Structure 1
Amino acid sequence: MNRLIIAEKPSLGRAIAAVLAKPHKNQNGYIEVGNGDCVTWCVGHLLEQLQPDEYDQRFKQWRLQDLPIEIEQWQLKPRQGMSKQISVVRKLLKNAKQIVHAGDPDREGQLLVDELLDYLKLSKTRKQQVQRLLISDLNPSAVTKALGQLKPNSDFVALSISALARSRADWLYGMNMSRAYTLLGQQAGYGGVLSVGRVQTPVLGLVVRRDQQIAQFVAKPFYQLDAIIPHDGNTIRARWQPSDACEQWVDEDGRLLARKLAEHVAGRIAQQPALVSSAVHKQTKQTAPLPYSLSALQIDASKRFGLSAQQVLSAAQKLYEQHKLITYPRSDCRYLPKGHLGDVSKIMTAISTNDDFLQDAVSGADQSLRSRCWNDGKVTAHHAIIPTPKAAGSSRLGIDEAKVYQLIARQYLIQFYPPAQYSEGELKFEIAGGLFVAKGKQLLKPGWKALLPTPKDKVPDYLPKLSQGEVLTCAEGQIKDCMTEPPKAFTEATLLQAMTGIARFVKDSSLKNILRETDGLGTEATRAGIIELLFKRSFLQRRGKAINATAAGTALITALPESASYPDMTAQWEHQLQRMAERQMPYQPFMVGLSSSINDIITRVKSEPAPACLAGLPAVAKRRFKSKSTKRSSAKTAPKRISKSAS
């Protein structure tokens, strides 16, 4: 055998084999091709972490005195039903002159094949010779091009170490924390499993705290005062800006709280001269938003079609693997390499063929335009999600797949449309010693916005082009009675936005600056699964589009230390893992710091009584996990195991 190419999934393996020399022989678990190469595959992770009781039988019973669980020598085992495929790869490795790693182009994809090679005890010498194949488009031309650009797999070792650290850290944190708080719950009379994860729990915390803000909200009245200024048969509305002297009657958001003050000012400005103290008129441009990352796609699909994050991911995965109509969908990047400019015309043709609704949009695109998305410096292992040059042909798309494809295609097309142009203005009036401001914005040329569904735009406020020094007359002051509104419950879209823009929710101000642009809760590939997991474990519930915490979810967050329920710790983890992937931080300090944090929490759990908030809860989780009795321990019933500690 010349080369053995190990793909992440069978679909990728078949796509690679399709561009290699014929004839092909389909064998059990691999494909032989005409030039002597073989293509085999994993089926996602072929291996998984051992359960605690597989390291030590005493962990079969859940007891506080056995915590924290610590692992000196980590071990993996075949996932259920995967031993046969592992044996296939083992046999093929023995005869391969060259090995090619073809995992997906991300952190998990890198680890997935690397850990298999380690498990099969590939020698250090042969491991150093492994090459890396990076594929983000399953169409033949793209696969052929990628095969011509193999890189040393050793270039990606830091990415693999980062994924390994995340996997082990999630196991340690999830296993220890879930056991500790499940046992506390049992002491308080709750019979279900209280699972804790370094990502799922802060996400739950976001929802719980939002629910509490809504429940505790007390509406307060406030008032808006507008000066009504006639001009050429129209009306200018200028909003009063209370001065520093009015500070005691204004809240922290600048809202006026005293109606009598508003009435006093309204009486003073009626029929008084309105001097234009400042006049600003300008034209502005709004450039097109970038092509999609997975999270951005999930957010827009939720807003537009009401699709869940998991539905979007499933549809995108089918568009990528089965139909080959889009590029790699689990991307966290929103930029494109300049090398893809050569495919623009073919992609446009494919879009026009695949979606009749977008044919006019394709016709109106200017392929000579270059948006800010073409930036080699911002493309890493993968680029933004875009359509491929492939036509669907006779392939029929499901309803969700068609919707997701249309979003991706439209987002690509708007890169070839000019910016939207606006006329913006601001007039400041001085009336009876007070400052009043009128602002206006009007769309002049839609540019890329012409491709979006027609919005129900409100009529723009009238704002004529006046000059500084002009004097008009204020006819009257109009007061509007308003009430403050509570924050809105999370929806699928806003929860995803919170997870990707987590800097807004961390408590540590220094972390805000670090995380504002980069890290979020979870990864592009895991966010949908994390949200779904919280529903499956009955910690979250849907009420229409709104997402709320259940009683069990709220109690768990109340019982946990803040460090576990706020995103600060997870954000720090992600930042450290990213530094590890960039060879700026070693593995060991990260793991030592994690173990220390877990030890501190477990020590506190052992020394404190069971939180009262866990008493009297409906045991919703009891239906989801099997329990077994123990003779004498701090847990009367202990679940056999949590299948995996979810991140």
Structure 2
Amino acid sequence: MILYIAEKPSLARAMAEVLPKPQQKGDGFIRLANGDVVTWCIGHLLEQAEPDAYDPAFKQWRREHLPIIPDDWKLVPKPKTKKQLAVVKKLLKEADAIVHAGDPDREGQLLVDEVISYCKVSAAKREGVQRCLISDLNPAAVKKSLAALKPNTDFVPLSVSALARSRADWLYGINMTRLCTLAGRSMGYNGVLSVGRVQTPVLGLVVRRDRDIADFQPKPFYEVQALLHTEGDEQFRAKWQPSEACQPWQDEEGRVLSRALAENVIRRITDQPGRVLAADSKRQRIAPPLPYNLSALQIDAARRFGLSAKRVLDLCQGLYERHKLITYPRSDNRYLPAEHFAQGPSVLAAIAAVCPALASATAQADTGIRGRAWNDGKVEAHHAIIPTTRKTDGSRLSEDERRIYELVARQYTAQFYPHQELDEKKVEVEVAGGRFLAKARQQRVAGWKALFAQGREEQQDDDELQSHLPALKAGDKVHCLRGELQEKQTQAPRPFTDATLLSAMTHIARYVTDAGLKKILRDTDGLGTEATRAGIIELLFSRGFLERRGRQIHATEAGSRLIDSLPESATTPDMTARWEAVLDAISRKQAGYRQFMEELQGQLPALIDSLRPESFRGLQGGKPPRPRRAAIKGRRRAKA
């Protein structure tokens, strides 16, 4: 008997749909016509044991117990899914062969592997386990995946990497959460002060942003525009580019803070001749934006519709599992396998059926266009989120489901549109020894941009960008009619929103100064994973560390005090970057589990000693911890 183990019931049902019929539904499994069986997990059936499983004394939270470091790690059944674990265990004993069908990512790999190990499946049977990677629940895609099984042993490093992260998060989270909670309690705070490798740096981002805003003092700065007249009787404006001699009157961003300096420039250039130093014109071709991964989709949905990251993830899960209208949503990838290109006409036809608002766009799509999105070299465990070939009545979707589907569908449709083409011009002018720069941009071919004419703002880095410039060449003469002074104010940073906080987590490298760590964070795609970011943000709200004011996100007093109590290394992305670098190396067989864990264990005592309990003095409120949940494990709970 072959036993197929899916990560969740919805995936099990999708697999059974293409396997031999008639079928018999049992309690926690489906028996196929040929005697094979499909069963499922319900997310993680197992979890890391609580500290008191290692020593009953650890049930009490005491400072002298720390750090708690297990000698022999234990997994225990999750109380709510014990019954299903028993079903899977019994079927594993009966099975002759096993097919692992966890989700196609690091966590999905570990989720089923740990059940197989916990149930003490024989070594010989474990060696023969096959891996099935499914990212689309429609029958044709599932059937194709079942026909392309791989040895599960190929994915052992991925599983070891996930195990290392799980245990390291436990070590760090349990010890630091207990430490901070005890310190807060000694100062009168009654709640859990949870600490995590990812959640705490995210909180640190918000705390520092709030303080930057509170401490911000606006300063005036000055720009000079030269109104220029050409020999062809045309006018345009060019912006003054301060020379190195002006640096004493500039801030670190190059803004001129001296009004007198700017006024002096105006006096010098008004009614003075000038000449064109350089003129450059080029046609810029902009490719369509790549299909979405989860973070990019969450960011766009937050900007356009004000939806939280968790809400978007929940909507995606429904579109994937219940409606089968999109592919696997927890993807961190924005590329597609080359073989998917042939499905273009079928996917576009499905989009037109589900979303009539895009019917015209799909009809005008050119399925002969093959852009950068189809790239086997960029696809690993899973690919970008795209619509499936399933056709259904879109009126059955809720308004928010329709919004998310339309975002995904429009992004996919754009792949079959030509590049947007822009004419970009730059003219550099010298007047009275000063250098002035004018820029212009004009759209020539809308291409894919026509699909985003509404709702997507054109992003421009230069507020002085013009739509037209005269035809000029180096050496041409111009005349400066006058100089124009523009007084502006430096602006405080903006408070975080769901969209900008997600963007900060995804592009966290910009908040790091160390060049080596910047590269690691760029390569690993930020803080947290596609599957965990929404949960991390929601956790910070549920713990009372963050609060919403309209669409703005701010830290609470408890959140600010927690950041103050910890060493800087715990509140910035640096440690996460180092972890992710090693975890990625483990998944590629370039680093070892044991060394990673030993280094973390060696760092814990110093981290514990660096806490500043006085930061919690006077902090009031909080809810007492629930008995069993000493710390958040940070492990995703998949829906049934």
Q: Determine if the TM-score, normalized by the shorter chain, exceeds 0.5.
A: yes
Deviation for aligned residue 1:106:
0.5
Q: SS at the partner of 2:281?
A: strand
Residue of structure 2 equivalent to 1:452: 452
Letter in 1 for 2:100: H
* Contact 1:507 1:568 survives alignment (8 Å): no
From 523, 528, 539, the counterpart of 1:517:
523
CA distance in 2, matches of 1:299, 1:52: 37
Residue of structure 2 equivalent to 1:303: 303
Residue of structure 1 equivalent to 2:469: 463
Q: Deviations over 1:496-532 (max 9, x none)?
A: 1111111111243321133323331110000000000
Establish whether residue 434 from structure 1 lines up as the match of residue 434 from structure 2: yes
Residue of structure 2 equivalent to 1:206: 205
Residue of structure 2 equivalent to 1:45: 44
Q: Deviations over 1:54-108 (max 9, x none)?
A: 2211111111111000101111111112121111112212221211001000011
Residue of structure 2 equivalent to 1:593: 599
Q: SS at the partner of 1:285?
A: strand
Residue of structure 2 equivalent to 1:494: 500
Q: SS at the partner of 1:82?
A: helix
Residue of structure 1 equivalent to 2:131: 132
Residue of structure 1 equivalent to 2:18: 19
Letter in 2 for 1:470: D
Q: Structure 1's 102 and 449: CA in aligned 2 closer, same or farther, altered over 3 A?
A: same
Residue of structure 2 equivalent to 1:642: 630
Deviation for aligned residue 1:456:
6.2
CA distance in 1, matches of 2:233, 2:618: 67
CA distance in 2, matches of 1:641, 1:489: 32
Residue of structure 1 equivalent to 2:622: 620
Q: Structure 1's 641 and 318: CA in aligned 2 closer, same or farther, altered over 3 A?
A: closer
Identity of aligned residues (%): 55
Q: SS at the partner of 2:191?
A: coil
Letter in 2 for 1:305: F
* Contact 1:538 1:621 survives alignment (8 Å): no
* Contact 1:228 1:475 survives alignment (8 Å): yes
Residue of structure 2 equivalent to 1:629: none
Deviation for aligned residue 1:193:
1.5
Instruction: Provide structure 2 residue ranges, at least 5 long, that are not aligned to the other structure.
Output: 636-640
* Contact 2:298 2:499 survives alignment (8 Å): yes
CA distance in 1, matches of 2:247, 2:508: 33
Q: SS at the partner of 2:133?
A: coil
Q: Deviations over 1:275-327 (max 9, x none)?
A: 11111111111111111111111111111111111011001111110000111
Deviation for aligned residue 1:489:
1.0
CA distance in 1, matches of 2:44, 2:613: 38
* Contact 2:355 2:394 survives alignment (8 Å): no
CA distance in 2, matches of 1:31, 1:77: 26
Matches within 5 A, 1:600-611: 600-605=606-611, 610-611=613-614
CA distance in 2, matches of 1:187, 1:242: 57
Deviation for aligned residue 1:460:
3.5
Letter in 2 for 1:3: I
CA distance in 2, matches of 1:161, 1:602: 27
Residue of structure 2 equivalent to 1:29: 28
* Contact 1:200 1:534 survives alignment (8 Å): yes
Residue of structure 2 equivalent to 1:319: 319
Q: SS at the partner of 1:81?
A: helix
Residue of structure 1 equivalent to 2:142: 143
From 529, 545, 554, the counterpart of 1:548:
554
Residue of structure 2 equivalent to 1:636: none
Residue of structure 1 equivalent to 2:406: 406
Q: SS at the partner of 1:516?
A: helix
Deviation for aligned residue 1:198:
0.6
Residue of structure 2 equivalent to 1:119: 118
Q: Deviations over 1:181-213 (max 9, x none)?
A: 111112222222111011100000011111111
Matches within 5 A, 1:25-424: 25-231=24-230, 235-393=235-393, 396-424=396-424
Letter in 2 for 1:642: A
CA distance in 2, matches of 1:357, 1:406: 8
CA distance in 2, matches of 1:641, 1:107: 24
Number of residue pairs the alignment of both structures matches: 628
* Contact 2:295 2:332 survives alignment (8 Å): yes
Letter in 1 for 2:553: I
> Mean alpha-carbon deviation: is it higher for 206-215 or for 387-396?
387-396
Q: Deviations over 1:103-144 (max 9, x none)?
A: 000011111110001111001111001101110000000011
Matches within 5 A, 1:563-582: 563-582=569-588
Deviation for aligned residue 1:394:
7.4
Letter in 2 for 1:181: C
Deviation for aligned residue 1:230:
3.1
Letter in 2 for 1:138: L
Deviation for aligned residue 1:233:
6.2
CA distance in 2, matches of 1:16, 1:405: 24
Q: SS at the partner of 1:43?
A: coil
Q: SS at the partner of 1:480?
A: strand
Residue of structure 2 equivalent to 1:584: 590
Cα RMSD after superposing both structures? 1.6
CA distance in 1, matches of 2:24, 2:283: 64
Deviation for aligned residue 1:640:
6.3
Q: Deviations over 1:148-194 (max 9, x none)?
A: 00110111011111111111111111000001111111222222211
CA distance in 1, matches of 2:201, 2:408: 30
* Contact 1:534 1:540 survives alignment (8 Å): yes
Q: Deviations over 1:441-500 (max 9, x none)?
A: 111111110000435669834311111111121110000111101111111111111111
* Contact 1:520 1:574 survives alignment (8 Å): no
Residue of structure 2 equivalent to 1:631: none
TM-score normalised by L of structure 2: 0.96
CA distance in 2, matches of 1:266, 1:453: 40
Q: SS at the partner of 2:396?
A: coil
